[in-house]
Structure 1
Amino acid sequence: MYPADVADDLVEVLLTEEQIQARIAEMCREIERDYAGENLLLVGVLKGAVMVMADLARELSLPVEMDWMAVSSYGTSTRSSGVVRIQKDLDTALHGRKVLIVEDIIDSGLTLSWLLENLRSRGPESVEVCALLRKPEAARIDVDVRYVGFEIPNAFVVGYGLDYAERYRNLRGLGILSPSVYEHEDD
C-alpha cells in the first residue's frame, strides 16, 4: 500500500520507502563491521519490527540467526500503557550469544528498557539494539541504542510495520496518522 492510497488518513509522509531502504543499508554496513566473524542472533520484536527485520536480515552480508519475541504495552491505544506483557517468548537460548534486538520504534523507552533487562538476565555475551525510529522528545527513560535509523518528532506514526489498531502496517514509507482517525478512541 502506498501513501497515496491512504492520503486522507495521513497528516504527512515523514519517510519514503527509498529513504528507509537507504538508511537500513547504511546501518547494515555498521553492523557488518561491528560483528564481522561473529555468530549474531537477531531478535525481532513483533509485530512492528517485521518489515525492519526482514529488510535488515536480507541486506546483511554476514550469516545471522533470527528469532522473534512479542511484547505489548499499547493495545489499541496511541499511547504506551507502561505495562509490558510477553505475548510470545524466544525459542532460542541466549546464553553466551551476541544478540541484536531489532525494533521498529522507541517512544518512551520503557518497553525497551524492560526487554533489555529481561534478555540480559538470560546470560548472553552481549545485547545491543537496532531501531529504525526513535522519538527523543517522548523518552521517559534513557536507553542506549547502538544503531538508530531516524530520529522523528513525537507524533503517532504508521507504516513500514507500525500500526494503529492493526491497520497501516503494509504502508510503504512512514506517515503521521491524522488525529481524525483515532480521536474518538476514548469515547
Structure 2
Amino acid sequence: MNGETDITGAGGVPDPVTADLRLSVNGVPRPVTVDTRETLLDTLRESLGLTGAKKGCDHGQCGACTVLVDGRRALSCLTLTVTADDVEIVTVEGLADGDALHPLQAAFVENDAFQCGYCTPGQLCSAVGALAEAAEGWPSAVTPGLSAPPRLDETEIRERMSGNLCRCGAYPGIVAAVGQVAR
C-alpha cells in the first residue's frame, strides 16, 4: 500500500475514531466517549438518555432537535458532538427549575401552544434562544432598523421562530406564548 496505513476494519468499513469528551448538559458534567461522526442529538438521546430533543427530519429543516449551546440555538442533528466539548448544553429537560416550570413552558400550557407535542421541546429551546437574542439587540430579517432594540411583536416572533415547524399548526398559541413571556 505504498506506506499508507490501512484504517479499514472487517469488510472494508473504516474503524470508528472515538474521542473522550467532557460535556456539560443541563448543568451536569457528563463524560462521554463518542464516535467523531456522531451528532449531538444522537449522543443526547442514545448515550445520555435525554430524549426531549426529537429526531424529526435529521436534516436541520424542522427544528425539533433544537437545543441551546452556550446560550445559542443549535440544531443538534447537524452538530457533531465533538464540537460541544467544554461548552454548556441546555436541553428542554434543563429549562425548568426543579418542579417550577420555565416561564415559556408555563406560557405554552396557558396558551395551548402544542397539540401532539413532538415539536414542543425544540420550540421551547428555540424560543428561549430567540428571546435572549432579542434582549441582546440582535436584529432579525424583519427588524425595521439596527439602532433600536427589536420590538417583539407577532411578525418579529414569527420570523425568529420560523426555523421550527409544527405539523399540527399550533403556531397561534406558540406566538402568543412567546409574546406573553417577551412582555
TM-score range (shorter-chain normalised) is: under 0.3
User: Structure 1 or 2: larger strand share?
Assistant: 1
Higher-RCO chain (CA-CA 8 Å, sequence separation at least 6) = 1
User: TM-score, normalised to structure 2's length?
Assistant: 0.25
**Could you say which structure has the higher helix fraction?**
2
TM-score normalized by structure 1?
0.25
